[in-house]
């Protein structure tokens, strides 16, 4: 195949020293000196050249980075610039690069060939993420509207071969349940206090991270050397912390920074290191003792050890405390997002005060559920859930890179108390966005009937916002297909650009399918939701998250509200009359009290409203409407209560000719 070349471009500098680097970048990007940074490669040839790919995706775009050219671009410390990156679907995106500190200044000075950046799309889209570069290769994690994208090298990184893939295409890992330990005997656990909606400016809390490795971990990343090289292992630790810290900064305003003496915690000989690689419980105490003696408790704020075995185990609310080194994460192939987010970010989440959020008791979920924060149906899908290891209750194979609002509450409460006592706090100039629910309050909806909630976000800084609706109900443990009592019904999805959420998701309604973790309420109860608005900010400042809560009543004495016709497909003539019929199902009387409905013509391609056919017609089960004088394929009818949030969508598409 024909390879395509891509270049780097320069952006203005703020400081005199930066002007020199800007000139260098501009020179590299000039027509006379354009330097190809990456080229597409044929997948079979690339795959054949890699014997032990450590983070293999089932589908990927393959590229070759030109190491010398990229090194020339990224070598200048403290510079800013732009870089064009490949995407898995053949597209590309240009991002602004802002250097971000992952290593303490003295550590970074000893390793100038390891660079870390925050990346933000130059076109104003919602693409942003983290990038790091070292002699071991180029790595990137990008958050895009279509999902997370990763660029990762193989173990033969000197060849410059990398795979570009979607998060959902990463192969599932064999994952174990972890252990969460309460603070040591005699120490009172900090109680969870209700967190008020944040206002004003965000604050960035920076924590000094002492991250140790077993000899087996070091050998995994440098297997061909007689003694694994510490600089090779450090490059991998920087990648790990860069991605984990990027998530913590966006979600919580927390930054992790590797301590100055990090090399002293990289053990390269399994026979002499102070850790029992395959025993996470043993390593917990070993790490507390090792870091106290080698580093000194006064010289770090949170400690952790990574290995190739032993699973995960951590003390709850450990940060800043005497047991702050009480965190262990181990996996046979400890690399890539499946390790960084599903494992390390999860275990560190415990150290920052977060419990498990899943409601399942199947598979690895059995015995590990925490009733006080079991907000997620099934295995859950957020960082503190158990995605992929709860058998039939698994919502998805891997965790999404976000914390459930219940986890955010726990962590923020901890940071407001003892967990914030050792942080270096930086006041930022980022204003927390504001969240507002537009759906009416005090509503009651019928059972087994779809509904939609609408919010609105605003931001004084005019930042690009994303939105998230989450259910916040606690009830009996159980399967997501048959929830009982006040158990959670609706799963968390990744934030998006729309402040509207349809329950269940619109693709289920169009396809007449059901997604695990999306169950309509069938009993009389109250549903509680949180609407979150995020400004997506990260380095060099803390991300802002605003929220507001909303309650919705359900009655089992009405519903389901359902369209009866049109529901047979077929074709209708443009401009013709159509009779729409629906089952009122008791929604016209108290407690629902819906006296009028609106009739919409929709497109099944995304189901966006195309035209209002009738407004505020009586909720009596029938309305005559006129179709538009325009052709439309795959049309649906939507009947929605004019004064409420519930509706129904016709089951079968029809065409207007």
For the stretch 308-331, pLDDT in tens is: 997 899 999 999 999 999 999 999
Task: Calculate mean pLDDT across residues 97-114.
Answer: 95
Q: How confident is the model at residue 187 (pLDDT cuts 50, 70, 90)?
A: low
Residue 392 has pLDDT above 80, yes or no: yes
Instruction: Look at residues 168, 136, 171 and name the one whose alpha carbon lies nearest to residue 152.
Output: 136
Q: What is the pLDDT of residue 191?
A: 53
Confidence of residue 192 (pLDDT cuts 50, 70, 90): low
- Ranges of H-type helices in 111-211: none
Phi, psi dihedrals of residue 231, rounded to the nearest 5°: -65, -30
> pLDDT at position 35, please?
46
Q: What is the pLDDT of residues 227-277, one digit of tens each?
A: 999 999 999 999 999 999 999 999 999 999 999 999 999 999 999 999 999
Q: Cα(first)–Cα(last) distance of the chain, in Å?
A: 44
- Asked whether residue 547 carries a pLDDT value surpassing 70, the answer given is yes
What are residue 579's phi and psi, to 5 degrees?
Answer: -100, 120
Counting Cβ atoms within 10 Å, is residue 584 exposed (0-12), middle (13-18) or buried (19+)? buried
Whether residue 379 contacts residue 488, with contact meaning beta carbons closer than 8 Å, is answered with no
% residues pLDDT > 70 (the chain): 87
Q: What is the DSSP string of 591-627?
A: TT---EEEEEEEETTT--EEEEEEEEEESSSEEEEE-
What domains are defined for the chain?
A: 58-169 (no CATH), 179-185+196-354+403-413 (3.40.390.10), 432-555 (2.60.40.10), 562-656 (2.60.40)
Q: What is the DSSP letter of 252?
A: H
* Helix (H) and strand (E) counts in the chain: 11, 33
Nearest Cα residue to 455 out of 475, 476, 434, 483: 434
> Can you give the pLDDT at residue 176?
65
Of the candidates 418, 408, 382, the residue with the CA atom closest to the CA atom of residue 188: 418
Residue 610, pLDDT score: 82
Looking at residue 79, its pLDDT comes to 63
CA–CA gap between residue 446 and residue 450 (Å, rounded): 9
* pLDDT reported for residue 199: 65
pLDDT in tens, 605-629: 765 668 999 999 999 999 999 999 9
Q: What is the DSSP string of 53-108?
A: -SS-BSS-EEEEE-HHHHHHHH-STT--EEEEEE-TTS-EEEEEEEE---B-HHHH
The confidence band for 3, taking pLDDT boundaries of 50, 70 and 90, is very low
């Amino acid at each position: 195949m024909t390879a395509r070349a891509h270049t780097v471009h320069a952006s203005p500098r703020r400081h005199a020293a930066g002007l020199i680097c800007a000139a260098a970048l501009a020179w590299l990007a000039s027509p006379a000196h354009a330097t190809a940074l990456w080229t597409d490669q044929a997948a079979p040839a690339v795959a054949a050249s890699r014997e032990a790919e450590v983070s293999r995706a089932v589908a990927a775009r393959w590229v070759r980075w030109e190491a010398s050219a990229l090194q020339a671009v990224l070598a200048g410390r403290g510079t800013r610039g732009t870089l064009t990156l490949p995407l898995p679907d053949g597209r590309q995106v240009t991002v602004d690069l802002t250097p971000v500190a992952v290593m303490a200044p003295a550590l970074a000075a000893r390793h100038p060939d390891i660079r870390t950046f925050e990346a933000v799309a130059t076109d104003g889209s919602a693409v942003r993420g983290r990038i790091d570069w070292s002699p071991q290769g180029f790595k990137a994690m990008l958050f895009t509207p279509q999902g997370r994208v990763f660029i990762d090298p193989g173990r033969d990184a000197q060849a410059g071969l990398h795979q570009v893939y979607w998060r959902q295409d990463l192969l599932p890992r064999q994952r174990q349940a972890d252990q969460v330990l309460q603070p040591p005997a005699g120490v009172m656990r900090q109680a969870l206090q209700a967190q008020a909606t944040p206002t004003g400016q965000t604050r960035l809390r920076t924590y000094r991270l002492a991250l140790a490795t077993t000899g087996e971990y070091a050998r995994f990343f440098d297997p061909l050397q007689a003694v694994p090289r510490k600089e090779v292992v450090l490059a991998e630790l920087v990648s790990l912390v860069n991605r984990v810290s990027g998530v913590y900064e966006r979600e919580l305003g927390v930054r992790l920074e590797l301590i100055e003496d990090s090399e002293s915690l990289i053990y390269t000989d399994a026979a002499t290191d102070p850790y029992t690689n395959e025993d996470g419980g043993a390593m917990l105490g070993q790490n507390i003792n090792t870091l106290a003696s080698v580093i000194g408790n006064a010289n770090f704020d949170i400690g952790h050890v990574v290995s190739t075995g032993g699973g995960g185990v951590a003390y709850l609310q450990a940060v800043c405390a005497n047991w702050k080194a009480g965190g262990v994460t181990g996996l046979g192939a400890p690399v890539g997002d499946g390790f960084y987010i599903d494992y390390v970010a999860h275990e560190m989440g415990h150290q920052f005060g977060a419990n498990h959020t899943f409601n399942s008791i199947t598979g690895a979920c059995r015995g590990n559920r925490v009733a006080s924060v079991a907000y997620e149906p099934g295995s859950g899908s957020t960082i503190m859930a158990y995605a992929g290891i709860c058998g039939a209750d698994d919502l998805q194979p891997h965790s999404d890179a976000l914390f459930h609002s219940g986890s955010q509450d726990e962590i923020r409460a901890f940071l407001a108390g003892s967990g914030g006592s050792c942080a270096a706090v930086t006041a930022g100039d980022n204003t927390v966005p504001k969240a507002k629910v537009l759906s009416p309050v005090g509503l009651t909806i019928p059972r087994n009937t779809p509904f939609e909630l609408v919010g609105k976000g605003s931001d004084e800084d005019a930042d690009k916002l994303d939105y998230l609706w989450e259910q916040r109900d606690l009830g009996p443990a159980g399967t997501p297909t048959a929830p009982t009592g006040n158990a959670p019904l609706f799963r968390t999805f990744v934030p998006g650009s729309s402040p509207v959420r349809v329950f269940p998701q619109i693709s289920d309604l169009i396809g007449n399918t059901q997604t695990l973790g999306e169950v309509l309420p069938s009993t009389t109860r109250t549903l509680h939701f949180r609407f979150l608005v995020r400004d997506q900010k990260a380095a060099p400042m803390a991300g802002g998250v605003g929220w507001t809560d909303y309650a919705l009543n359900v009655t089992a004495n009405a519903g389901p509200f359902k369209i009866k016709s049109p529901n047979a497909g077929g074709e209708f003539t443009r401009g013709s009359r159509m009779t729409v019929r629906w089952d009122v199902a008791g929604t016209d009387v108290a407690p629902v009290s819906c006296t009028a409905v609106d009739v919409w013509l929709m497109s099944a391609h995304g189901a966006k409203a195309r035209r209002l056919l009738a407004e505020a017609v009586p909720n009596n089960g029938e309305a005559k409407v006129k179709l538009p004088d325009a052709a439309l394929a795959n049309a649906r009818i939507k009947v929605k209560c004019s004064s409420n949030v519930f509706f129904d969508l016709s089951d079968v598409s029809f065409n207007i000719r």
